[in-house]
Chain A
């Protein structure tokens, strides 16, 4: 398999300034702070983490909607980290996005035909007639009636709108589609329709996905590999099966155990790790391992001093975690997870 995307040490720091006229920088929000991953053609990378962990910022950097402040992005064998608008334009044909909110991401004043056809127009593909035919073909591919060409977005339900968004992303045969929470706003029955559609399209057109979601069940369903982020950093990355069967980072473990199980009996018997407190502010993140104030395995003098780097864990196969004391097995209960001689600290506020 060929590598389509390689992200090395990606950083995006937003400056925080004070003063109206003479602005001076008083700090920075490290929204993305050193993320590494690579993605093969035809694969799906799931990205999970709590809100504010930098998932969306990371995706926007990869799509170069934001300019990274550090690191590099290799796409299809080319360094696109600092390409300018003009040079970026041909690259954009191979890289599209599907957004979370199907109500906000479609222009209410445009007809479906021109929404879906816009990428074709922007990139000067085909004549008017050819474009129209292509748009109708696309509508059919995503399961909409081609005759709806002249309708407005408000005439469609949430699930149908998300289909329109997907048709638009497919318009110029991209290689990579970045889906930023594409199903979070949908009802479960409609969510299943969209997930099935995305899988079918991947098979038919050999698409590569970056799939961002906070629903871990959805990510498991659709991904080949999974990246877990916490406060701007990648804390664990691995194949879906490795990561869900045997998470190594305590944060991944906590995330997995927090997902409610749709089975009353299993739910009652499982061992749950409930994290206290909230995600700390990225303006002033904790020292060393960002997770240490909430971590049940925190060891004073190590976790708050020494920043753990992503390193191979478990059976290998590209399974990596950034933790000094990775989990030995799974599942583990709260008590088992606490190491001897260490005292868990309370929630950081």
Chain B
């Protein structure tokens, strides 16, 4: 059984300008010890999906659907009970390590907080646990640094402190929202390696939100691609990169400058991501899609299975044959560029 099973999740925000459909009927599940990557551009609803699961949305928000975590629906759970889950069984790492630590408290105090709150540990016990975690994330001279403030750490170290904080109660599920986007490649490599190691030790499930397809390829087992608040493609990581099935995913892969490809023009997706206030009719991607047909403007394609495998599902009105042909052509273009 999946650790987290999200069914038909919908989050709408009422604003003065109208209803923002940030998440619209999203379903996915995460297994123990596995990593699910949620890919998409800004405004695709990937972060809101996770904030909804954690019950962290504020404002005039309407949520429907369910998020079954180990048999309990997190969406309908009263706030007080949800608090028992947050920071203990489910943790979250936010994107910006500069702003998500409290600047006026020491690292040690912020690390101890979660242990003392959830485990009812004494300060001394919490302290030794904090120290252990700082060592686990390879902070040099950890014992001396417990009493330091966030500004005394570099960006990469702060992100490692955030990871230590998220993992201090050995959560079953870690939600990481762009954990490495603000970091240099070298630091990113350190953090990804660290997350993999800790996942291996604790059989933790990870939901990784990112727009970096390189990070996805490196870390994920399963991938969902989101666009305009909906899941548009869902697959095992190897399948997604080997045979993406819909035009937005083709565009994402094509617009990527690759280390082994040089020169040439990048394939660009024309236009801008859609407004969630006024989403396009039919398929959310149709205004930017080069293969748009009449039906795309009117009907939202079902998230349906492919011929390859039941695990691979996507939204597209194109028939199997044309999709196969188009992808073959696009892949050939990418490969020939690789060889050049």
Q: A residues within 8 Å of B by Cβ?
A: 50-51, 157, 159-160, 187-193, 195-196, 199, 214-218, 220-222, 240-241, 244, 254-265, 267, 272, 274-279, 346-347, 349
Contacts and interface: CB of A to CB of B under 8 A. Distances in A.
Smallest CB-CB A-B distances: 7 pairs: A260-B214, A192-B255, A221-B257, A258-B189, A189-B269, A187-B41, A192-B266
A220 B189 contact: no
B320 interface: no
Contact of A214 (B185, B214, B253): B185
B265 A196 contact: yes
B98 to A, nearest CB: 12
B253 A262 contact: yes
Q: Is the interface of A mostly helix, strand, loop or mixed?
A: helix
B106 to A, nearest CB: 18
Contacts of B254: 192
Interface string B230-268: 000000011001000000000111111111011101111
Interface of B: 41-42, 138, 140-141, 154-157, 184-190, 192-193, 211-218, 237-238, 241, 251-259, 261-263, 265-270, 272-273
A261 B256 CA distance: 11
A348 B41 CA distance: 37
Given A217-B257, A260-B214, A261-B214, A189 B186 contact: no
B43 to A, nearest CB: 9
A276 B138 CA distance: 9
Contacts of A51: 155, 184
Given A188-B256, A221-B262, A274-B193, A260 B157 contact: no
A278 to B, nearest CB: 5
Most buried by A among B42, B157, B188, B218: B218
Nearest to B255: A192
B331 to A, nearest CB: 12
7 contacts: A187-B211, A188-B41, A195-B266, A215-B257, A220-B259, A260-B188, A278-B154
Contacts of A258: 185-186, 188-189
Contact of A255 (B186, B193, B255, B273): B186
Contacts of A241: 262
Contacts of A254: 186
A192 B255 CA distance: 5
